[in-house]
Amino acid sequence: MSDDKLIRLDMGKNVYHEHNVDGGRPILCLGIESSCDETSAAIVDSDRNILAHIIYSQIPEHQKYGGVVPELAARAHILAIDEVVRQTLDKANKKISDIDVIAATAGPGLIGGVLVGWMAATGIAQSTGKPLVAVNHLEGHALVPRLQATSASGSDEDSSVDFPYLLMLASGGHCQILLVRNVGEYELIGQTLDDSAGEAFDKVAKMLGLGYPGGPIVDKCAKLGNPTAFEFPRPLCDKPGCDFSFSGIKTAARTFLAKIPAPYSEKVINDFCASFQASVVDCIINRLNHAMHDDRVLTAQPKTLVVAGGVAKNSAIRSAMEQLAGRYNMQFAAPPMSLCTDNGAMIAWAGLENYKLGKVLTKPIAPRPRWPLTEL
Ligand code: KG4
Ligand code: ZN
């Protein structure tokens, strides 16, 4: 079977699309996300409206294991995907024929889950003849502040971010500083040499017996604790460059806790979370400070410092980054809380941004468990 029969596309590569279609109507994109433990779909238009957004979180299914179990996640996506897409269309009061473009995460992520969303999107595109965009999950996080952005406090202030911008991308699987020049143009300024920031939050929460996912619980407890009670290290902060390392912080956490008899008191938990979080914040600010002096950043002169990814929900990280941006006369932006962790709206938006540049699929692709942004 020839490629064009497998996916019937009405647009070819590098065909640029106007912002609006059909006499001024905005372009409508259905986005599907299934790369980890959220089955999500959204309909977003090119005027930056989210018409409908459904997120089915599998957290309760994974909680008793203290983390995401890939096999269970894939099965849960299969059971949820049809209903999530149907409800999204219903909520937006749209039929599939009203949608202009379909987008889905094609990696990186847990491949069993990615395949479920990707095959659902491929099926919809094939049966309707709609164009299909393969979205890199990290690009979804990286571009969503252009759909909606807020201040550090997460207020509803509605603005969007222009290129180029300096991005701190911190999620459960990734920790990178990127210079975002344009859609598809990402320059890696620094990255973690071991764990991601989200992983460190989740592991520390697990050691304290606080449950999964750890980030939101540690964030909450940290607000009540003393950030100087435990002396956590600041790995790499005395070194040049913009790379991160969180494994030393995790080891320190284990060593401290080995000396404290369980069960831990509320005070110990709060102080521990506050001290751990302070070390993560310091590392992020130290590395971003170095990034500000990187030749590529100095030349590009980004006007906005942005944080995105699940860890961008962290209140201490948001406010420390806002202060840093102020010191460099930059704006600070973060997605609203609901668009930080994995969601279909960020995939729909990244799909739209790619679609407008003509980046639609002209032949089938295999989803990728690993897919660095710099390979786009
Ligand atoms: O982006 P995301 O939903 O999934 C990945 O693509 O990995 O990020 C999930 C991560 C988890 O590690 C979770 O603990 C962390 O984001 N997270 C937070 C907060 N809320 C979620 N970390 C720190 N503070 C938070 N408030
Ligand atoms: Zn993510």
Each residue of 6-65: pLDDT tens digit?
A: 333 333 334 555 556 666 789 999 999 999 999 999 999 999 999 999 999 998 889 888
The answer to whether residue 203 scores a pLDDT higher than 60 is: yes
Query: What confidence score (pLDDT) does residue 19 get?
Result: 59
Query: pLDDT tens digits for 183-193?
Result: 999 999 999 99
Is residue 140 in contact with ligand 1, taking CB distance under 6 Å?
A: no
The answer to whether residue 360 scores a pLDDT higher than 70 is: yes
> For ligand 1, atom 1, which residue shows the shortest CA distance?
310
Phi-psi region of 109 (alpha: psi -120 to 50; beta: other; left: phi over 0): left
**Phi, psi torsion values for 307, nearest 5 degrees:** -120, 140
Is residue 136 in contact with ligand 1, taking CB distance under 6 Å?
A: no
Query: pLDDT tens digits for 101-114?
Result: 999 999 999 999 99
Query: pLDDT tens digits for 319-330?
Result: 999 999 999 999
What would the mean pLDDT of 224-236 be, rounded to a whole number?
98
Residue from 171, 276, 318 to probe ligand 1 pocket by mutation (most atoms less than 8 Å from CB): 171
| pLDDT more than 70, % of the chain | 91
Q: What are the tokens at 223? A: 């607000």
Query: pLDDT tens digits for 332-355?
Result: 999 999 999 999 999 999 999 999
Is residue 33 in contact with ligand 1, taking CB distance under 6 Å?
A: no
Is residue 38 in contact with ligand 1, taking CB distance under 6 Å?
A: no
Query: pLDDT tens digits for 1-19?
Result: 333 333 333 333 345 555 5
Query: What confidence score (pLDDT) does residue 7 get?
Result: 31
Distance 314 CA to ligand 2 centre (A): 15
Query: pLDDT tens digits for 239-291?
Result: 999 999 999 999 999 999 999 998 999 999 999 999 999 999 999 999 999 99
Query: What confidence score (pLDDT) does residue 5 get?
Result: 32
Distance 214 CA to ligand 2 centre (A): 15
Is residue 107 in contact with ligand 1, taking CB distance under 6 Å?
A: no
Phi-psi region of 172 (alpha: psi -120 to 50; beta: other; left: phi over 0): alpha
Tell me if residue 200 falls in helix, strand or coil: helix
Residue pair 138/108 in contact by the 8 Å Cβ criterion: yes
Q: What are the tokens at 164? A: 């180029």
- Which of 139-148, 159-168, 190-199 comes out lowest in average pLDDT? 159-168
Is residue 309 in contact with ligand 1, taking CB distance under 6 Å?
A: yes
Residue from 137, 153, 203, 313 to probe ligand 1 pocket by mutation (most atoms less than 8 Å from CB): 313
* CA gap 254, 249 in Å, rounded: 9
Query: What confidence score (pLDDT) does residue 153 get?
Result: 61
Query: What confidence score (pLDDT) does residue 10 get?
Result: 31
